[in-house]
Structure 1
Amino acid sequence: MAENGISGGKPTRRAVIAGAAALAAAGPVRAQQAKLDLDAAKKEGKVVIYNNWQPNGIEPLLQRFREANPGIQTEQIRLGSNPLIERFQTEFSAGRNLCDVLVTFPDERIGEGMKKGWMAKWTPPEIANFAPEYNEEDMLFTIQHARECIIWNKAQVRPADAPKEWADLFDPKWKGRVGMNPPWRSVSIQQICAFWEDIGIKDAADKLKANEVRFFEGSGGIIQAVVRGDVRVAELTDLPLNPLLDDGAPIGFVYPKSGTTLSANKAFVAAKAPNPNAAKVFLNWLMTEQGQVHLQTYCGLSVTRKGAPPLSKLPATAELSNVVDGEKILTPERQTAIVDKWRSTFGIR
């Protein structure tokens, strides 16, 4: 379900590590060198962010931005990756430009949008602190990574029964007690479905239907279902996992030794942003040391800035076995085939 709202109020999570660095005054020398205009940003007065961050973490994150940038208010619209991209695409085509900054897990439409003029071309001052591969043509910037994993309710699943591999999701002992995000909703789930095929797991849709899989909307819904005991095990994009583990949730987890997929959470300033200066201030703040710490703390994903601290409860990507960039294995043709197969199997039009 869409979660639309104007941000305001106090952070709801407990106090966390404070960020240290202020905005950098200068960045790398490039033709499109950005000069952040704070006065113009404050005159615009707000920034509208389309995002797919963990719901509970959005307001605390935006509160930190407002504290660091008084005079710039925030509005946000949260949707899953697919409907979020579809919404921006539809608005852009209609000339109805409402979004200033978009943050999402991309599919091929983001690449097409880059060619169609969706994105402002500029160089954030903070980009010098990121590896070159996280900057695509001075338009699209990778700020976080998510990984796919298996989780379970530790109060209901004995250690000896805890899943270890992807194939364990299809074990009949979990019939009616296994959950996941529907593949037609999320690019990251489409990517793990492609990975399952690559490691020899065939007919996953049919097998999970036979196992009476239960679908939930978004990672937050999945992990809450596991905590409540609605399901006992689940496939999860790990964005809500670290914050709940920090809060003591009784959740076990594993990144299977056979491997997993990595999804890049990317951001851009809209070329026709209503508040372009505030948009650049916001996205550049997300890339500062302070912004990256807050992104990681409140939104639960590992960040991409050089030297950023690790997540408190989850292993670094470098420590995982056979991590595959999901974007590289999910071609448009394969994406269509996967979505069509899962929709057909579960009778979804």
Structure 2
Amino acid sequence: MDNGVLKRLRVVGGIAAVVGALALGGCGSPAEEPAEPAAGPQSLEELIAAAEAEGELTWYTGTPPSTIEKVVEAFEATYDIRVNATRLPSGDIAQRFQAEIAADNVQVDVMSTVDQGFFGDMNDAGNLASLPDLARGEVDDAQFLLGDYGVVVTVGVPAFGYNTSVMGDFTLDTWQDLLDERVDGQLILVDPRGSQAWAQMWHVALNHPDLGPDFLEKVGQQGHQVVNSGAPGAELLGAGEGGVLVANIPGVFDAAKQAGAPIEYMVPEDPFYGIFTWAVVTADAPHPNAAALFLNFLASEEGSQVYNTADRGISPLGDLDGTWPTPAGGIEQPPTPDELSASLEEILTLLQIR
């Protein structure tokens, strides 16, 4: 679909060019001083006025393009504010933001990613802003708040996809189906180092009594190829250049099916885990009021429904029309950054990802 949002959306696959561009940017005219957010409590009306005076914001996110498009369209239809969105894997978001800090040329206002540890480090270093109450929207459950600086905008649902043209009558119903001999040589694994979403998934499997290290080792023995993020994995799966993808989210597979790709998917249970995507505002945001209003929108019922209907995610506000239903047993807190750090090397070794 060729429209203004998609023309503005930048999908960046590598980080080397970004660093060079930032260095060049620093050699030109100095960046404008970021606007100061109004002190003290603000009404939503005052925040809207201040945000629309700024007129735009920049958002770095790992959200799928189709979801970005719908979120941006809904926000821009509500407010006279332009959203400049750049899609990157979570690891590249971290590198890009740190490069901007090093170049004293922070361009991003809002970041959303699954990397809780990175956000914690950036907050400790003074690089993230404390969120005013308005920026948290309607999210008030402590499970979905990260200190005073982050708010969950979606709880993603991991899904395993398979190409029916490639795999024939094979179906995916459980984790154990990944060990089927028909998967050997057809498996596409998303590198857990590219996004903590998949590191978390394998951490949960590694520590589950019915799966554990033996299961991961057997998955690793299945012939496989490795991709750096879910997006190229979905492209390979749709093109028939692999038969099974671990993993992506339902929204991506649904979009591929609607476009005619011979893809089916299943959401693994027992164990089930949710992928928490956190949103933050940078301390030196060029457009801090627009950033706060954007988070307010994402954390409102309207914005959360747009986001999670497109993404097929679980809303932190509960079950909304079109969103993925909250599991009966609730949503467990994701593994801590320290837990992930301790298990990542074992996960990579067992899966034979080098």
Q: Look up the match of 1:198.
A: 207
For 1:268, which of 276, 280, 291 is the aligned residue?
280
Counterpart-to-counterpart distance in 2, 1:123 and 1:220: 34
Distance change >3 Å, CA 177–CA 327, structure 1 → 2: same
Q: Which amino acid aligns with 1:282?
A: F
Query: Are the aligned partners of 1:10 and 1:60 in contact in 2 as well (CA < 8 Å)?
Result: no
Counterpart-to-counterpart distance in 1, 2:101 and 2:215: 36
- Give 3-state SS (helix, strand or coil) of 2:158's partner: strand
Deviations 1:46-74 (CA, angstroms, capped at 9, x unpaired): 1000111102332332122111112x212
Counterpart-to-counterpart distance in 2, 1:172 and 1:44: 57
Question: How many angstroms does 1:182 deviate by?
Answer: 1.1
**Normalized against structure 2, the TM-score is what?**
0.77
Query: Are the aligned partners of 2:252 and 2:311 in contact in 1 as well (CA < 8 Å)?
Result: yes
Deviations 1:228-267 (CA, angstroms, capped at 9, x unpaired): 2222222113152344456665432223343132210110
Distance change >3 Å, CA 105–CA 333, structure 1 → 2: closer
Give percent identity, aligned residues only. Answer: 19
Query: Are the aligned partners of 2:319 and 2:325 in contact in 1 as well (CA < 8 Å)?
Result: no
Say whether 1:327 aligns with 2:335.
yes
Deviations 1:299-318 (CA, angstroms, capped at 9, x unpaired): 3422212452243xxx5241
Q: Which amino acid aligns with 2:297?
A: W
Q: Which moved more, 1:93-102 or 1:333-342?
A: 333-342
For 2:224, which of 204, 213, 216 is the aligned residue?
213
Q: Which amino acid aligns with 2:120?
A: G
Q: Look up the match of 2:98.
A: 89
Query: Are the aligned partners of 1:102 and 1:269 in contact in 2 as well (CA < 8 Å)?
Result: yes
For 1:165, which of 170, 174, 178 is the aligned residue?
174
Q: Look up the match of 1:144.
A: 154
Counterpart-to-counterpart distance in 1, 2:257 and 2:6: 26
Say whether 1:178 aligns with 2:187.
yes
**CA RMSD, Structure 1 to Structure 2 (Å):** 3.1
**Normalized against structure 1, the TM-score is what?**
0.78
Q: Look up the match of 2:89.
A: 80
Q: Look up the match of 2:21.
A: none
Query: Are the aligned partners of 1:145 and 1:303 in contact in 2 as well (CA < 8 Å)?
Result: yes
Q: Which amino acid aligns with 1:170?
A: L
Q: Which amino acid aligns with 1:326?
A: P
Q: Which moved more, 1:145-154 or 1:123-132?
A: 123-132
Q: Look up the match of 1:37.
A: 47
Query: Are the aligned partners of 2:112 and 2:278 in contact in 1 as well (CA < 8 Å)?
Result: yes
Counterpart-to-counterpart distance in 1, 2:58 and 2:245: 33
Distance change >3 Å, CA 134–CA 323, structure 1 → 2: closer
Counterpart-to-counterpart distance in 2, 1:125 and 1:192: 29
Say whether 1:105 aligns with 2:105.
no
Distance change >3 Å, CA 336–CA 220, structure 1 → 2: closer
Query: Are the aligned partners of 1:99 and 1:273 in contact in 2 as well (CA < 8 Å)?
Result: yes
Query: Are the aligned partners of 1:8 and 1:63 in contact in 2 as well (CA < 8 Å)?
Result: no
Deviations 1:167-215 (CA, angstroms, capped at 9, x unpaired): 3223332222111211221111111221222133326665445322122
Counterpart-to-counterpart distance in 1, 2:115 and 2:335: 8
Question: How many angstroms does 1:331 deviate by?
Answer: 1.5
Q: Look up the match of 2:309.
A: 297
Q: Which moved more, 1:263-272 or 1:52-61?
A: 52-61
Deviations 1:94-137 (CA, angstroms, capped at 9, x unpaired): 43211100111124221122222222211126634542322233
Counterpart-to-counterpart distance in 1, 2:337 and 2:126: 26
Distance change >3 Å, CA 32–CA 167, structure 1 → 2: farther
Query: Are the aligned partners of 2:203 and 2:347 in contact in 1 as well (CA < 8 Å)?
Result: no
Question: How many angstroms does 1:142 deviate by?
Answer: 0.5
Which segments of 5 or more consecutive residues in structure 1 lack a partner in the other structure? Answer: 1-5, 12-30
Q: Look up the match of 1:234.
A: 245
Query: Are the aligned partners of 1:191 and 1:329 in contact in 2 as well (CA < 8 Å)?
Result: no
